[in-house]
Amino acid sequence: MSPKTWLITGASSGFGKSLALQALAAGFKVLGTTRDIRKAQSQVPDFATRGGIWLELDPGSDDAFEQFSKVSREHGGMDVLVNNAGYAFIGGVEDTSEEEVQSQMNVNFYGPLRTIKACLPAMRTKGSGNIVLISSGAGFIARPGRSTYSASKFAIEAVHESLSHEVKPFGIKVLIVEPGAFRTPFAARIRSPAQHEGTGGSCEAYKDTPVAAMLDSMRAAAAMDELPPSVKGDPEKAAAAIISAVVDGHDYLRLPLGSDCVAALEGKIGELQSDLEKTRAVGLSMDVDQQHRSPGPKVNIPGKGVSQD
């Protein structure tokens, strides 16, 4: 039997790089996308020597669906699709332009959507497959300054959650990976509002607010030669956990990774539970009172005259 084929977007760095090399080591056929093959070859020289195949593809491009569809056909369909490519936009809601929101959504939302739609037909025909989204803790909690980034992650997680139900009858599994802070170069690719580039990414009104604090912390992380000890996540361990979930099977939709992400998710669940308890009585009081229930609108059913709905 031929080895299963993995397609990993953004395979030249971070989680994509770790996943690609470990998948190759496990004996899988791996296709890795990058926007610059020459740069990727210098960053990850072991990828090609171990049998990996570089593809110069950008999920954020307008013709990405056609390009990924062609790749799927040429390689006999994908067994595992890992949507990893993406970046974070950090800035306040008021300071962020519509164009910047659109650019973030084009890469983090429409990019994965295009690759999924391109790879699904072959997976359905095979009656099996795995779709993996490398999301973020920002996919379930929106901190100050992360509205745009979180919006892209909330939205694409919603697609994958719905998709998990849609493709289950075809033997296709979906996994949403939610990493916390890991020791990857992700911070170096963070963007912020261009109109306030000269003032640290925010307007004067947001100076000394949580928005400015978030921007300061992101810039500091990007400027460091070495990541601080507080960033504890090991991308090699994360890659191993993801591959294990795909190979061994999993009975869960979300996989939070990192002690910080687990704590954040527990906090989010606690906040939701608290809101529910505080509003439960109000929510449960909204049903129509039976004794005052008014007749529904009249519906004209062909051949049966008019009836009450």
Report yes or no: 81 and 116 within 8 Å, Cβ to Cβ: yes
Among candidates 180, 91, 203, which has minimal Cα distance to 144? 91
d(CA 40, CA 280): 53
Report yes or no: 2 and 28 within 8 Å, Cβ to Cβ: no
Is 149 marked active-site? yes
Does residue 66 sit in helix, strand or coil?
Answer: helix
Q: How many residues does the chain have?
A: 309
- Annotated catalytic residue: which of 4, 147, 149, 150? 149
- Annotated catalytic residue: which of 17, 29, 153, 173? 153
Is 153 marked active-site? yes
What the block records as the tokens of 118 is: 């391109």
Among candidates 104, 121, 117, 128, which has minimal Cα distance to 159? 117
- Annotated catalytic residue: which of 12, 72, 135, 136? 135
Contacts of 22 (CB under 8 A, 6+ apart): 236, 239, 240, 243
Residues with catalytic function: 135, 149, 153
